[in-house]
Amino acid sequence: MVKFTLIDLWIFLKKPNDKQIQLGIREKVYFIFILFTIKIIVVFFFILPILYQINKLLNIADNNTIDIESYSTLRTFFGYVLIVPFIEEVIFRYFLRYKGIITSLTSQQKWQKNFPWIVYFSIILFAYIHIGNYTNNNLLFYILSPLIVSSQLIMGILVTFIRVRLSFFWGILYHSMWNFLILSIPESILS
């Protein structure tokens, strides 16, 4: 299953296609676990060290920190783990299947032809929306912005892959799990 998932992800990255795979619940959970493990490894062993160096260089302030005193734990959990992933998935990935209103807007042939561009645009837009999490407006910050939003780029790729291959629900679940993990880690570790 690991080899299948990684090969399919690589094929999807090279040329996204709107093809859902049929898996049982157990296989879907394992599929999600494999991709979650990949995200953890990439973020914690590659992206965070790079972001640490960029932060030292630019002294980036992250506006996305949570003020524990002004939000209750339940409110923070509800917002960052349930509401935010749902809203972001609706905005950036809900439409990434040829069904519903999409079928009345375009032919399946045009959809398949343009699907890779739609996917790439969605992923990049998702990542760059998060640039607003930071307060810095110097030129070097924008030059380094692909590295600064690299975690969100990886997230966009993985959640888009999950959304297309499995379903909208599994994409939300993955996004919520990631936000829960990040929320659970003390900020001192991530800084």
Instruction: Say how far apart CA 64 and CA 190 lie, in whole Å.
Output: 12
Instruction: Say how far apart CA 42 and CA 56 lie, in whole Å.
Output: 20
Please, are residues 89 and 158 in contact by the beta-carbon 8 Å criterion? no
pLDDT bin (cut points 50, 70, 90) of residue 14 is: very high
Instruction: Say how far apart CA 79 and CA 68 lie, in whole Å.
Output: 13
pLDDT bin (cut points 50, 70, 90) of residue 94 is: very high
Instruction: Say how far apart CA 191 and CA 55 lie, in whole Å.
Output: 9
Instruction: Say how far apart CA 187 and CA 191 lie, in whole Å.
Output: 6
Give the per-residue pLDDT at 74.
82
Give the per-residue pLDDT at 85.
97
Give the per-residue pLDDT at 188.
53
